[in-house]
Structure 1
Amino acid sequence: MGTETVDTLVVGAGQAGLATSYWLNQAGIGHLLVDRRETLGGAWQDRWDSFRLVTPNFSLQLPGQPYQGPDPDAYLGRDAVIELFRGYAGGIDAPVRLGTEVMGLAVANGGFRVDTPDASFAARRVVLATGPYQVPRLPEAAAGFPATVKQLHSNDYRQPGQLPKGAVLVVGSGQSGTQIASELLAAGRRVHVAVSSCAGAPRSYRGRNLYWWLMQILIQGPKHGMQVPMVDDLPTPAARFGCHPHLFEDSPRRLAERGAVLHGKVLGTDGSTVRFGDDVAQKVAFAEADFDVRFRPMFDSYAAAVGLDLPQDPPATGRGRVPEGEVSLDLEAEGISAVVWATGFRLDFSWLGLPILDEWGYPFHQRGVTIQPGLYAIGLPWLHSEPSSVIPGVGADAAHLVEQMVAAG
């Protein structure tokens, strides 16, 4: 196994790695992207068949490639998103080596030694661009479900026909959980949803797309004394791993109106019986109120600051009590044949071999510049701001990282 020398090695060729590659090229810094997958497209390749972005096309502002297509207000499906990034990689001449999984990293000779199954790299700098979707997260309760019930994480779910006939329990009410539950209802399935502590948001506000508002605040807000939520605004470091908000059109309340049965947090099992918390009403109330508390005042202040005369929307709260299911459920009696765990992901940087991770497995850093000289991170949740891990926000963080590299020499 030989050793290949590269100035900057970027681990991961998803949106974060490609955005970093663009800025490295602009700065004239030699680099190589390695990715464990055999094909480009990152974790988008793990989404279900009918998946569509909730970010409209006009917000897909990749560095050096703003959206210029014919449908700025449309939403790309999974396969189109994958093709977008494959085209982007070619368009920016990103030097990518696929099928190359990094197994270990160590400090060596004033830089780093990075090991893969087929080769080692000697790199002056390393950028961790593996993204937030690293290892599917399952709660301990999953181990107690009977073997007769098929269990899938949302990472492995593709379409309703993949599941055995019968009712389905979807655990989690973030973007993935609510969209999958909605699809199962449309397919005629009986659906139970274990509601989690996830916020909700409207697709549009005061006649403008939600992401139009967010991008205005991101780009123009500082001129008017406002900004998108930053990592320092979080109540605790654990809040970095909160779920992505669902859209109100697929909210737990709307799912219940379409026939879904809502339950609280999965607490455990006893044979074929699942026990739930009695917190559905509180979680639904939080999901509906969060937008009014965190974003409505910000958007209204921006509209006033720039003189936008737009009709006001009524508050999302005050819609009455949502129907709740029982706090225990006999899976066999209810005909539940499958569970889809829409419970998110956890980070896995165990291969780093460096003492730079906090108790959540997140690198200690300052806007992506880690405490280990020469080691950087990009595309992680709340790296700098709320949009740090999504397409509209990752480019600015990547530009900052490369600026720091240039300054460090």
Structure 2
Amino acid sequence: MPADLAVIGLGPYGLPLAQAAVAAGISTLGYRTGPEADPLTPAEVRRMLATGFRTPATPAELGRVRTAVICAPTPPSPDGGLDLTQVEAAARTLADHMRPHTTVILESPVRPGTTEDFLRPVLERGSGLRAGRDFHLAYSPSRVDPGNRDFTPANTPKVIGGLTPACTESAAAFYGRLTDKVVRARGPREAETVQLLETNFRHVNIALVNEMAVLCDDLGVDLWDVLRCAETKPFGFHAFRPGPGVGGHSVPQDLTGRAPHSLRMVELAQQVNGQMPRYVVQRAAALLNEHGKSARGARVLLLGVTYKADLADQQATPAEEIATRLMSMGAAVSYHDPHIPSWNVADRPVPRADSLYEAAADADLTILLQQHRTYDLQGLSVKAQLLLDTRGATPTGAAHRL
């Protein structure tokens, strides 16, 4: 049976889009571009399959849809840019079967200019069709926030920039079936740069509060009280929270070597955020030392090893570097995470704590890396011998906080 929509790439960007489309009554098929992290629970995927979502037996079915959205991942490349391998593979597969009048939309995080300078030639060469004349081409930044129940595709505005005005309107007609508001950009480069700004805004502001965390610890100031007070300002301030590092799939981009001016603040933010796992380990070692214990031989329990609360996604999680550094110091590291049944670090299995409270009571140091909803932090603070809270989630005075 023909589908209205093909979502190419079923990772953190594609599956939520497909889920929203199925919920809106749009006949949807999904096509994997390679190994991808699954942001949905098995129950959510089963519900999608029960309501019409399917994966095609052959890529030929991609040529029977009206709209195709490429959501392939773009991980960091060795040269510091973005790896477009899966985007190219998705485009080649689609181009081999694409028919005239198809609307093609790219949602993968990319550098400005990618839709026109990279994706367009691949599609045109493979299909023999011309973008803007024979098929519509547009870019729309993905605005998925996994696990956020307040903002869904329905109430999150979608930005769209088409190669031509007609391309923009065709993409807008599709997204209008999913969201309450569509925002039209001048073109694909502007829409791509929206994604760049939104991603870098997050990383730069997290870097600022991470630096404030280090400063406040040096000054003996309660950072979390500072944040509590600062966020009461009704203008000119948006609260971010520090943490053990920055994970996730959206890679900050400084455009070094790719534009007349690199984004120096973004480059610095990457350096600051990249140093946080080391800082957490330094704080951990200092706490152990203050309590008469050495990191060597210490039993350290890590709580929450995913990059985000209440998700099983471990993409770029700082927990891996923290565990690696602790083990290199001779610590005996174990972990607990309700979403991760097994965990390997540096090709070594990390022991999983079955009984959370018993493990916290037995550990010389417990480090909260991710605040999963199931954690009773008040109870943990009572049971743990020594608790380092990197998320500021424990009650005041119940733990040592970042």
**TM-score by structure 2 length?**
0.26
In proportion to residue count, which structure has more helix? 2
In proportion to residue count, which structure has more strand? 1
**Which protein, 1 or 2, shows the higher relative CO under an 8 Å CA cutoff with sep ≥ 6?**
1
**TM-score by structure 1 length?**
0.26
